[in-house]
Amino acid sequence: MAERLNQIANHATASKEAGIPHPLDPLSVFELTTVVSIVRDTFKGHSISFNTVTLHEPDKSAFKFWKETGSKIPDRKAYFIVLDDSLSTGFFEGVVNITTKSIEECNQTSGACPIITTDDLRTIEETIRNDPKVIKQCELSGVPKSEMHKVYCDPWTIGYDERFGTSKRLQQALMYYRSDEDDSQYSHPLDFCPIVDSTKKEVVAIDIPSVRRPVSKHKHANFNLKDVGPLREVKPIAVTQPQGVNFSMDGRYIEWQNFKFHIGFNYREGLVLSDIFYNDKGTPRSIFYRLSLAEMVVPYGEPSFPHQRKHAFDLGEYGAGNMTNPLSLGCDCKGVIHYLDFDFVERDGNVATVKNAVCIHEEDDGVLFKHSDFRDDFQTTIVTRGIRLVISHIFTAANYEYMVYYIFHMDGTIQLEIKLTGILNTYICDEDDDLKGYGTQVYPKVNAHNHQHLFCLRINPEIDGPGNSFAVVDGAQSTAPVGSADNFYGNAFYAARTVPKTTGEAQYGYDGPRCRTYDMFNPNRIHPYSKKPATYKLVSREVPMLLPKPGSLVWKRAGFARNAIHVTPYVDRQFYPAGNHVPQTSGEPSRGLPEWIGDGKAGVENTDIVVWHTFGITHFPAPEDFPIMPAEPINLLLRPRNFFLKNPALDVPASFNVTTSDVKANKAGSHAMKDSTSALAFGKTSGEAAMVGSCCSSNKTSAAEPVSLGCGCSCNSKKNGCATACKCSPGQCCCA
Amino acid sequence: MAERLNQIANHATASKEAGIPHPLDPLSVFELTTVVSIVRDTFKGHSISFNTVTLHEPDKSAFKFWKETGSKIPDRKAYFIVLDDSLSTGFFEGVVNITTKSIEECNQTSGACPIITTDDLRTIEETIRNDPKVIKQCELSGVPKSEMHKVYCDPWTIGYDERFGTSKRLQQALMYYRSDEDDSQYSHPLDFCPIVDSTKKEVVAIDIPSVRRPVSKHKHANFNLKDVGPLREVKPIAVTQPQGVNFSMDGRYIEWQNFKFHIGFNYREGLVLSDIFYNDKGTPRSIFYRLSLAEMVVPYGEPSFPHQRKHAFDLGEYGAGNMTNPLSLGCDCKGVIHYLDFDFVERDGNVATVKNAVCIHEEDDGVLFKHSDFRDDFQTTIVTRGIRLVISHIFTAANYEYMVYYIFHMDGTIQLEIKLTGILNTYICDEDDDLKGYGTQVYPKVNAHNHQHLFCLRINPEIDGPGNSFAVVDGAQSTAPVGSADNFYGNAFYAARTVPKTTGEAQYGYDGPRCRTYDMFNPNRIHPYSKKPATYKLVSREVPMLLPKPGSLVWKRAGFARNAIHVTPYVDRQFYPAGNHVPQTSGEPSRGLPEWIGDGKAGVENTDIVVWHTFGITHFPAPEDFPIMPAEPINLLLRPRNFFLKNPALDVPASFNVTTSDVKANKAGSHAMKDSTSALAFGKTSGEAAMVGSCCSSNKTSAAEPVSLGCGCSCNSKKNGCATACKCSPGQCCCA
């Protein structure tokens, strides 16, 4: 990781400035350095390399005890994985207690492969470029030996290959050619696939197709500024907050508009939001204990060998944190931004930092609520705008970018938006090939295979306290026939709600026409009006079924994706639904969630539950996605229902409020939230239209005084004498 | 309409300034005045009132002829409906030719009721307040005779009531009580429902429930600023465009980022976008001929009488244009705004204007595309931001607000977003009533019934020319079993595509797990790479089934809602899928779309087609929706697939682009789109973090010079010597 920005903080400064870390805080530079030192001591005499060093989160009971009593703060601990050159296979994993500066656990693990790190990725290209068998295949493809520096590969997890199992740590090298180092290689795939031993750095096999296709001679499909010709003119938009932002940070806790929660981040899940509370008129009410993307899988739909191996678990096999981008102001994030860094350990034990890994900022959220009364032509009105809080990061998984946004709204809704961009995975084809519907030629000789992007959202709810249940809710027609006493006109419908009792029952698909939603609720907290339990409702509308069939390799390895919903009782350390160590698992047995569900008898009612929601998209590529893909959005919402006494955002200052009595008394109305920067696009150039919407709320006394634009009030009543001119009286709004 | 802003433009000025109206332009004040005059002459001696005067759109063939040849501009025409006091039932409707100043058609229509206008709404409250039978029911409810001025009603379309049919024009008065004129009445419904003759202005019946419930004595659930107590503090966000906007107007045509289209607006559909073209590197390519919301229905799920009557067709029975709000700068619309007015005719023939009916503005659209290369730690990178164009309006249907946004994206996507806000419809209940699952008590004694909001989007595609077809596309598993030769690993999947030939076949529901999408394509325009036809794909994920059952009153009247998709061949004047005159239709026969589909034999392949898409939400109310509802979003996308040769937005100026050769040469990279206003939230107060993300792209020569924030470049490489200090050299970016 030599190129990563390397900042080893001054230890004393870091510990003093930071104070005592919060139990959920990511490990600091100081702590990582301490762990590395302890692990090195433990493995003295061994030649080791660091694979993972990350926060070992406290058990929930310990965290809760400390949070409630202020005593017995959990020790700071780290989980680590190291590779040991003396092991031909397997690795060591364990836990370091940073507080006591001791190793608590250390085990040798066999028959499993640890997460793939960027250090593993880096060496592969060099290995394949120098391998004589690869060089030969390149020659056959039309790439001469002298041009091996123009050969590149995206090193992918091998997935699972029955020839190798977990006997060695392997990657498959998806091969590409660039004529120039600045080319985008994806228009020039090569047709063969070397398999590389990551430990020994040697090619162990090459999968060669029966039909050979030499590398394309077409121009590279590039997208850098120098390649795209004349740029279109785009006038910018500026987003500012002259009075500052509405969020404040206390360590890793953020407070914003009654929300308060901890922003964690780790090598694997990326963002982790914990201890999410809402301050409801002075009473802190819990919502979620922990929220994160726990796993994902991207299965490709081309059945021929070796493409079935393409089904990367980008979180479990690479890590969203490991692949996270350093973000830049005005480019990735616009407006008024606060960044958080991500500290990590490199292969050699060096502690490094990804600067600006997490972006925190606000955005305008449009109209929050509005109502106008038709009785006086909408003069009686209230319109209140919202602001939303966005916490985000971007990670690059070889070709693809995933942009992850957790968005908080003033009405208590929590939204997760994922936008896909970057570059399609591509394979070679001949221009007249029959792709059999499993892929699309997006550029001459470029086949982009069908695939799905399936994410697993891990939700540990704590809706208004412990003791939660789950319900699946569908819009359902009354069973009573049209014309019957109970349904005479045939319009009766209701919310059909099922509350599963066990993990066996708590497995659900998605139903679009019935607008299926999923409730997490507290059966012990009943709303005084509705008599329904305090709930956060998961509204998720991008919920593909897993297209690889039951019994398929992907189905076995990605058990979490078999259903849109699984629910399990909370158990510490059940974080990763495809298993702790995902690379090269066979899926027999299916690790993670299927193991935890087991015989399906565990109870999930009125207890501490974890909801695992699989969502995403099925992607049938098109040329518009190439050579780089415009961002495609995937969204879901977590909405409070029967949680708040009423709309929790009534106290947000309205942009404009005029009551009926105001109208009758010819009063100007209130602008609790003033907007002094909005303006007309075409100013005063078009006669009458120039004054449209303009108003004055200051003490102007003369009609001759120019009226300032953008005061944000509406004047649509003749009562104020408005016509084509402007009339101003002290304190009054007036417009043309 | 006395309170509506009344502006009768100077005729000469209007016609001179406006020039000759475009055939799709809404009728101008001048034209409306002309029509009123002609109609009055035609009905001389009759006592008439104006119900509707609107553009009578030219036949498509006439429009196309003129557009292609420049000759034979279609005459300007108006469609009108007038009520005549001499008719006990029915009305007159016809067409005025404005160009020749003559009546072309004028017919008396019986057995139908015309759209309900705001003039109809206004008179109802006065009628019910003065009716002795209503007064008596109010007394029984606990409202004394002396307080009838505190009794209000929301006049609703009666829907269909078999006692009356279309024999009289009727409304049902949903009754409410306010203790103060500024109260929100919805927490105080009354339990009975008067039916009012809109023509005679008299109560013809009162529907009285068998169990009586007196008006609530609870406090009113209000939301005005004066009622909500202390406001929270919210620091504003400012959105500006110092260099101006990217859209330009040519009459009602707008040009923006290669899109060009006509913005229409009428009394019924509200916004109508027509003649939508994309300038593809100099070649104008058609996409849609016409796009609008053509109808909607809001069926309630409470089966008991008279609640089955609650299923308003807000477009066909009231009109989105008729109910459209005048928008205000900084409140409804934020940023740099261009407005369009809406001119209309009042009951008495007076021409009036809703100022600022349509809002046009741009918003930041986030990251448009991004890719970074892991090989050099993401130093090789491109990140390009997008801007989107928003064309919107808001209409109030008594209690509810519908905010309609047509959003255009730089990647060619057209998005429709509808946000629901305003106030739930409410009915009275006792606090211990069993609502039987058909409603929710959202406040003491307030029952909010279940309902659906179903919208019908009318799409007349013209994808890259005439001759379009439709396809329904599902993600489908290969039929070959796991382990078979064609699907050995079980991962094979493809897009299963069906192209209907007739209107009978072209009726589809929605399938969530299969990620069903709907294609409109031109079979005569095949993409040179993918060999697939030029397509716009409808991606719609909020697609409830119609919950009222087949054979129900709603099912009969709202035939369009029986399926997510219907497709018909284009026929001029087939605009309104529930029929031209919707109020009080019985649904026997089902007007509109079911009539046009008929025997289902008409062809819809490779021809001029119209796609009718029904989408929306099923709403099970909760207290969070009360007393005013935070905006709930509904979205769908129209995405180009195999339409463009490649990503059409490559020429959008990147915020930041560094190539691999730039990195190696230690060059700063390019900022085609500069952002000089983004900033850090917490400035320079926290040591090292202060310089994070800051950079300099000007000719600074000394490290001592302060580095300006927000240049928008990222500097994460040690190669530039960055550490905790800032290093600047002429032209170079540097950060800490």
Rounded CA-CA distance B634/B469 in Å is: 26
CA dist list (Å): A569 to A132, A469, A507, A630, B677: 53, 10, 13, 39, 48
What's the ipTM? 0.93
Nearest to B623 among A409, A550, A642 (CB): A642
Is B443 an annotated catalytic residue? Answer: no
Mutation to test the B interface, candidates A181, A300, A331, most B Cβ within 10 Å: A331
Q: Which chain A residue shows the shortest CA-CA distance from B447?
A: A530
Half-sphere exposure in the Cβ direction for A638 (13 Å, CA): 25
Which ranges constitute the DSSP H helices of B6-58? 11-18, 29-42
Task: Please say if the pLDDT value at position B10 is more than 60.
Answer: no
- Three-state secondary structure of B536-559: EEEEECCCCCCCCCCCCHHHHHCH
- Per residue in A603-652, pLDDT (tens digit) is 999 999 999 999 999 999 999 999 999 999 999 999 999 999 999 999 99
> What confidence score (pLDDT) does residue B708 get?
37
- Per residue in A521-573, pLDDT (tens digit) is 999 999 999 999 999 999 999 999 999 999 999 999 999 999 999 999 999 99
Share of chain B above pLDDT 70, in %: 90
**Could you tell me if B495 and B475 are in contact, meaning their C-beta atoms sit under 8 angstroms apart?**
yes
Give ∠ CA A477-A478-A479 in degrees, rounded to 5: 110
The whole-angstrom distance between A144's CA and the closest CA on chain B is: 22
* Cβ-defined contact of B529 to A441 (cutoff 8 Å): yes
At A297, which amino acid appears?
A: V
Mutation to test the B interface, candidates A161, A390, A617, A624, most B Cβ within 10 Å: A624
Handedness of CA B113, B119, B121, B127 (dihedral sign): negative
Domain with CATH 3.10.450.40 in chain A: 2-109, 118-225
* Cβ-defined contact of A643 to B659 (cutoff 8 Å): no
Contact residues, chain A, for B525 at CB < 8 Å:
none
> What confidence score (pLDDT) does residue A375 get?
95
> What confidence score (pLDDT) does residue B13 get?
34
CB atoms within 10 A of CB A458: 23
Task: Please say if the pLDDT value at position A721 is more than 50.
Answer: no
* Cβ-defined contact of A516 to B512 (cutoff 8 Å): yes
Contact residues, chain B, for A676 at CB < 8 Å:
238, 330
> DSSP strand E in A238-350: where?
238-240, 248-250, 253-256, 259-266, 270-280, 283-299, 311-312, 336-345
Whether pTM > 0.90 for this model: the answer is yes
Contact residues, chain B, for A396 at CB < 8 Å:
371-372, 374, 378
Q: Which chain B residue shows the shortest CA-CA distance from A649?
A: B630
pLDDT band at A736 (very low <50, low <70, confident <90, very high): very low
Rounded CA-CA distance B736/B734 in Å is: 7
Q: What is the DSSP letter of A660?
A: H
Task: Please say if the pLDDT value at position B611 is more than 90.
Answer: yes
Task: Please say if the pLDDT value at position A276 is more than 60.
Answer: yes
Closest CA to A314 of A456, A426, A185: A456
Task: Please say if the pLDDT value at position B529 is more than 60.
Answer: yes
The whole-angstrom distance between B138's CA and the closest CA on chain A is: 21
> What confidence score (pLDDT) does residue A669 get?
86
Nearest to A553 among B303, B490, B548 (CB): B490
Q: What is the DSSP string of A278-303?
A: EEETTEEEEEEEEEEEEEEEEEB---
* Cβ-defined contact of B375 to A229 (cutoff 8 Å): no
> What confidence score (pLDDT) does residue A619 get?
98
Task: Please say if the pLDDT value at position A46 is more than 50.
Answer: yes
Half-sphere exposure in the Cβ direction for A374 (13 Å, CA): 28
- Per residue in B641-654, pLDDT (tens digit) is 999 999 999 999 99
Task: Please say if the pLDDT value at position B462 is more than 90.
Answer: yes
**Could you tell me if A494 and B300 are in contact, meaning their C-beta atoms sit under 8 angstroms apart?**
no
Is A405 an annotated catalytic residue? Answer: no
Rounded CA-CA distance B717/B372 in Å is: 14
- Per residue in B680-696, pLDDT (tens digit) is 999 753 222 323 344 43
> What confidence score (pLDDT) does residue A190 get?
98
Task: Please say if the pLDDT value at position B735 is more than 80.
Answer: no
- Per residue in A377-399, pLDDT (tens digit) is 999 999 999 999 999 999 999 99
Q: Which among B120, B131, B161, B314 is annotated as catalytic? A: B314
* Cβ-defined contact of A551 to B482 (cutoff 8 Å): yes
Half-sphere exposure in the Cβ direction for B212 (13 Å, CA): 9
* Cβ-defined contact of B680 to A337 (cutoff 8 Å): yes
Which range, of A178-182, B162-166, B285-289, averages the lowest pLDDT? B162-166
Task: Please say if the pLDDT value at position A726 is more than 50.
Answer: no
> What confidence score (pLDDT) does residue B686 get?
29
* Cβ-defined contact of A660 to B375 (cutoff 8 Å): no
Contact residues, chain A, for B311 at CB < 8 Å:
491
* Cβ-defined contact of B236 to A239 (cutoff 8 Å): no
Contact residues, chain B, for A510 at CB < 8 Å:
512-513
Rounded CA-CA distance A488/A486 in Å is: 6
> What confidence score (pLDDT) does residue B230 get?
97
**Could you tell me if A649 and B385 are in contact, meaning their C-beta atoms sit under 8 angstroms apart?**
no
CATH class of segment(s) A247-423+451-481+492-619+628-641: mainly beta
Mean pLDDT of the B213-235 span: 97
* Cβ-defined contact of A645 to B623 (cutoff 8 Å): yes
Mean pLDDT of the A240-269 span: 97
- Per residue in A658-705, pLDDT (tens digit) is 999 999 999 888 889 989 899 999 974 322 232 334 443 333 333 333
**Could you tell me if B269 and B457 are in contact, meaning their C-beta atoms sit under 8 angstroms apart?**
no
Contact residues, chain A, for B337 at CB < 8 Å:
678-681, 693
Q: Which chain A residue shows the shortest CA-CA distance from B515?
A: A544
* Cβ-defined contact of A356 to B231 (cutoff 8 Å): no
Nearest to B450 among A234, A371, A494 (CB): A494
Handedness of CA A160, A161, A166, A170 (dihedral sign): negative
**Could you tell me if A352 and A323 are in contact, meaning their C-beta atoms sit under 8 angstroms apart?**
no
Contact residues, chain B, for A383 at CB < 8 Å:
328, 331-332
Share of chain A above pLDDT 90, in %: 86
Nearest to A548 among B246, B401, B490 (CB): B490
> What confidence score (pLDDT) does residue A192 get?
98
Contact residues, chain B, for A657 at CB < 8 Å:
224-225
Mean pLDDT of the A79-107 span: 95
Q: Which among A318, A400, A402, A536 is annotated as catalytic? A: A400
> What confidence score (pLDDT) does residue B612 get?
98
Rounded CA-CA distance B15/A197 in Å is: 79
Rounded CA-CA distance B637/B416 in Å is: 6
Nearest to A491 among B361, B396, B554 (CB): B554
pLDDT band at A18 (very low <50, low <70, confident <90, very high): low
CATH class of segment(s) A2-109: alpha beta
CB atoms within 10 A of CB B633: 17
Task: Please say if the pLDDT value at position A719 is more than 80.
Answer: no
- Helix, coil or strand: residue A129: helix
Rounded CA-CA distance A688/B336 in Å is: 18
> What confidence score (pLDDT) does residue B18 get?
53
Mean pLDDT of the A243-262 span: 97
**Burial grade of A64 (CB within 10 A; 0-12, 13-18, 19 or more):** middle
Handedness of CA B28, B30, B31, B33 (dihedral sign): positive
User: B118-225 in CATH: which number?
Assistant: 3.10.450.40
Q: Which among A275, A314, A464, A625 is annotated as catalytic? A: A314
Copy the structure tokens of residue B247. Answer: 């859209």
* Cβ-defined contact of A491 to B630 (cutoff 8 Å): no
Rounded CA-CA distance B154/B173 in Å is: 6
Size of interface A-B (CB pairs under 8 A): 725
* Cβ-defined contact of B646 to A654 (cutoff 8 Å): no
Contact residues, chain B, for A368 at CB < 8 Å:
421, 630-631
* Cβ-defined contact of A366 to B625 (cutoff 8 Å): no
- Helix, coil or strand: residue B307: helix
Task: Please say if the pLDDT value at position A10 is more than 60.
Answer: no
**Could you tell me if B277 and B262 are in contact, meaning their C-beta atoms sit under 8 angstroms apart?**
no
**Burial grade of B298 (CB within 10 A; 0-12, 13-18, 19 or more):** buried
Task: Please say if the pLDDT value at position B80 is more than 90.
Answer: yes
**Contacts of B212 by beta carbon, 8 Å cutoff, 6+ apart:** B140, B141, B191
> What confidence score (pLDDT) does residue B122 get?
86
Average pLDDT, chain B: 91
**Most confident of the following: B326-340, B626-640, B655-669:** B626-640
Dihedral, B546, B550, B554, B558 alpha carbons, nearest 10: 70
Q: What is the DSSP string of A575-607?
A: --TT-SS-TT--SSSPPSHHHHHTTS-SB-SSB
Task: Please say if the pLDDT value at position B638 is more than 50.
Answer: yes
Copy the structure tokens of residue B296. Answer: 């909607």
